[in-house]
């Protein structure tokens, strides 16, 4: 008996939408999150795909996120847009901001979007990818509840705090998509191993005393290992500055966990920069990016960040995605 079932991307989106609405999310808020879930599954980032739908549903029901929230937008300066997510899902708040960010960046050459009172935005690269699709260089930051300790310390002060950059390319696909966290691995991967009772590779997480561990549960009680040691801590601090300090969002040290039901809304933030390459590159941005990517792709075995996701995305659009039966059963439980 197989432990997976193949679903089309449309089926994944529809199932996500139904579950979120059944849990108490408005259709307007559920729709962008369902679309993102299907896209995430297509990219092969299963830890942030359907596996997260039961968590989202649980968080709506316990009040960690307001499924009925209405985000509000202001424009305090000509090139700056701010969105208050009102403790709702990040995705509808980002959608609202992008509706003005994209035309504003095209008009002015550059524009910024700051989002506060927000929640887990899923895969950050999904959002910068959309800016690249619109012909803009997209740069994104999002902070998370504290899980990385400072160099020489053992108490977490910053989150895994991803950043992403997506450069526009031909045919609507980014020429380059970098999406990486400040930790060696995303915390959701450790959570996934803990749920499945599997050990984690050494180097992913540290125990409460700051020592390496292969026990996922122990790692979740300790801290995430920063990527590149002190350099990873520096990246996390950079992202914390951009996504929390610059947006007015809650710092990771004060944010409630993205997992479990303890605490109220995390109230974290996101920050995006959208830049029109034509405004800064002298008109040869595409040629330079082609030369840059070709220098990598012409090397046997070499690949660019984002190549793996692009290949999986094309395959998923054609063949669908194999999803865990156990995950589907957890989702079905919210449908009654």
**Spatial CA neighbour of 79 closest among 41, 106, 116:** 106
* Cβ neighbourhood burial of 77 (10 Å; 0-12, 13-18, 19+): exposed
* Cβ neighbourhood burial of 207 (10 Å; 0-12, 13-18, 19+): middle
What is the distance, to the nearest Å, from the Cα of residue 114 to the centroid of all Cα atoms in its chain?
A: 15
Residue with tokens 């609405």: 21
Residue of 48, 91, 127, 193 with catalytic role: 48
* Cβ neighbourhood burial of 245 (10 Å; 0-12, 13-18, 19+): middle
**Spatial CA neighbour of 235 closest among 303, 143, 301:** 143
Q: Which residues pair with 84 in a beta bridge?
A: 72, 116
Catalytic: 59?
no
Q: Where are the beta strands (DSSP E) in the chain?
A: 4-7, 72-77, 80-84, 110-118, 137-142, 163-167, 176-180, 205-206, 212-213, 223-224, 268-275, 321-324
**Spatial CA neighbour of 219 closest among 206, 203, 202:** 206
Number of Cβ within a 10 Å radius of residue 167: 25
Residue of 13, 41, 117, 189 with catalytic role: 189
Catalytic: 118?
no
Catalytic: 127?
no
Residue of 13, 41, 47, 240 with catalytic role: 47
Query: Is the Cβ–Cβ distance between 154 and 163 less than 8 Å?
Result: no
Give CA separation, 32 vs 81, 86, 92, in Å.
20, 16, 6
Q: Which residues are catalytic?
A: 47-48, 189
């Amino acid at each position: 008996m197989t432990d997976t079932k193949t679903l089309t991307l449309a089926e994944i989106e529809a199932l996500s939408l139904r579950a979120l609405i059944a849990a108490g999310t408005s259709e307007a808020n559920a729709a962008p999150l369902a679309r993102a879930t299907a896209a995430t599954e297509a990219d092969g980032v299963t830890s942030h795909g359907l596996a997260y739908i039961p968590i989202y549903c649980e968080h709506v029901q316990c009040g960690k996120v307001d499924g009925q929230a209405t985000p509000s937008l202001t424009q305090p300066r000509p090139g700056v847009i701010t969105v208050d997510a009102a403790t709702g899902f990040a995705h509808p708040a980002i959608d609202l901001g992008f509706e003005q960010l994209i035309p504003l960046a095209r008009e002015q050459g550059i524009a910024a979007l700051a989002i506060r009172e927000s929640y887990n935005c899923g895969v950050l690269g999904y959002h910068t990818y959309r800016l690249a699709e619109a012909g803009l260089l997209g740069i994104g930051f999002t902070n998370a509840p504290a899980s990385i300790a400072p160099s020489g310390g053992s108490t977490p002060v910053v989150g895994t705090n991803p950043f992403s950059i997506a450069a526009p390319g031909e045919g609507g696909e980014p020429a380059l998509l970098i999406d990486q966290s400040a930790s060696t691995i995303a915390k959701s991967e450790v959570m996934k191993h803990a749920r499945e009772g599997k050990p984690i590779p050494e180097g992913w997480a540290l125990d409460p005393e700051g020592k390496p561990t292969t026990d996922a549960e122990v790692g979740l009680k300790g801290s995430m290992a920063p990527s590149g040691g002190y350099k990873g801590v520096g990246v996390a601090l950079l992202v914390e500055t951009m996504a929390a300090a610059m947006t007015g969002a809650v710092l990771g040290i004060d944010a409630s966990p993205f997992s479990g039901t303890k605490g109220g809304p995390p109230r974290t933030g996101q920050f995006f920069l959208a830049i029109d390459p034509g405004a800064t590159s002298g008109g040869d941005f595409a040629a330079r990016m082609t030369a840059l990517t070709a220098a990598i792709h012409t090397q046997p075995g070499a690949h660019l960040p984002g190549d793996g996701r692009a290949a999986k995305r094309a395959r998923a659009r054609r063949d669908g995605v194999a999803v865990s039966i156990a995950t589907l059963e957890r989702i079905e439980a919210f449908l009654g």
